[in-house]
Structure 1
Amino acid sequence: MSRMTNRIKKWVTEQMQLPADVTMDLPRITMIGQLHIYIENHRGVLQFSNKELRLLLKEGQLLVTGDQFVLKTILPEELLLEGRIDKVMFINEEGK
């Protein structure tokens, strides 16, 4: 999308007080302590092990690291991960 389109979306979101995750297709992340993480608006699972989860986002990736990971729920645009979560990190694509 062009920069102008993104600026218009951001302006409309602010003016109409709409949730940014809906209008701008941003991920929504809900954590309960270090035990659960619920992620919405992802574009797919890139990598999963008992210590790492890597998701594709609209812009970049999301990396979750920890231990004893179990995918409790996985749907096309949302998932629930359980285990000990140590780090949640956004990875931006190069050149953007």
Structure 2
Amino acid sequence: MSRKGNVIKKAADLLDIPAEIITGMPIIEIGGMEKVRIENHKGLLEYGSDKIEINGGKAVICITGSGLKIKAMNADVLVISGDIFKLEFCYT
């Protein structure tokens, strides 16, 4: 682990919070095959009923499925529902 990564991990441990919050990386919660909740997103890149792409900072989060809908969205949290077939990270 790099020195910077080590410092971030120690700070997160000291503050008792996930390192993702400090680094701004997305936090993804998957609820079965029908719901995905993403925190710390950087906005939508593509939206359709069969594919949604979300800017996750260092990676694009690609969700494919059918009947995909955005149930809630604000500056920090995005909630997607529908029949989710695949979730993948596309690094740029």
TM-score of Structure 1 vs Structure 2, range by shorter chain: 0.7 to 0.9
Once the 2 structures are TM-superposed, how far is the Cα of residue 79 of structure 1 from its aligned partner?
Answer: 1.0
* TM-score, length of structure 1 as denominator length: 0.81
Q: Mapping of 1:53-64 within 5 angstroms?
A: 53-64=52-63
Q: Aligned partner of 1:52: which letter? A: K
SS of match in other structure, 1:8: helix
CA-to-partner distance for each residue in 1:57-91, whole Å, 9 max, x for gaps?
Answer: 12121001111011111112211111000111111
**Structure 2 spans left out of the alignment, 5+ residues:** none
CA distance in 1, matches of 2:87, 2:10: 28
Aligned length, in residue pairs:
91
Structure-2-length-normalised TM-score? 0.84
Tell me if 1:48 matches 2:47: yes
Moved more, 12-21 or 77-86: 12-21
* CA–CA distance in structure 2, aligned partners of residues 73 and 13 of structure 1: 28
Structure 1: any 5+ residue segments left out of the alignment? none
The alignment's C-alpha RMSD in Å is: 1.8
- Give yes or no for contact 2:8–2:19 (8 Å, CA) kept in 1: no
- Counterparts of residues 16-95 of structure 1 (less than 5 Å): 17-93=16-92
